[in-house]
Amino acid sequence: MDTIWRIGELARATGIEVETIRYYEKTGLLPPPARQANGYRAYGAAHLEQLAFIRHCRALDMSLADIRRLLDFLQQPQADCDDINLLVDAQLLRVRARLASMQALERQLIELRGRCAQPHQVADCGILHELVAAAHGEACACHAPGTEPPVVQAPR
């Protein structure tokens, strides 16, 4: 006989929060479990395996929609896997875009950090002055015509 888990036990076994497991059930990502006579959910090995699959895909930063598609593919073992390749290729593009964005962020932070190389008073902090100037520029660029942008004071 299969091992039966309650939702809390399944959460501990998979490292997935109880509320997340319920959400996966509600959205159809995880099949509903059988109910015991006392009304408790009774999860089996298939639930454990599917949650482990979902967790691994989430660790690869895949969307729930993409995970749903992958789970659908698992139900069609004779189907061609070209669509799976396309799905993973699209995920690679998203990851590469995020890496480029993070590298740009790193360069900005390095440049910002370079504005305050020596210890001095906050009033003379190049980092804060740069952040205030950038915030002022953004506020000026996005405020509605005919209105005044919010005022951000530089440190004194």
Paired residues of 34 in beta bridges: 42
Q: What is the pLDDT of residue 115?
A: 78
Show the tokens assigned to 36: 């015991």
Low-confidence ranges of the chain (pLDDT < 50): none
Residue 116 carries which side chain, given as an amino acid letter? C
pLDDT for the residue numbered 102: 96
Token reading at 107:
């360069």
Q: Which tens digit of pLDDT belongs to each residue from 37-78?
A: 998 889 999 999 999 999 999 999 999 999 999 999 999 999
Record the pTM.
Answer: 0.73
Q: Which residues does residue 42 pair with via DSSP β-bridges, in sequence order?
A: 34
CA-nearest of 107, 36, 28, 105 to 68 is 28
DSSP string, 88-121: HHHHHHHHHHHHHHHHHHHHHHHHHHTT--S---
User: What is the pLDDT at residue 156?
Assistant: 52
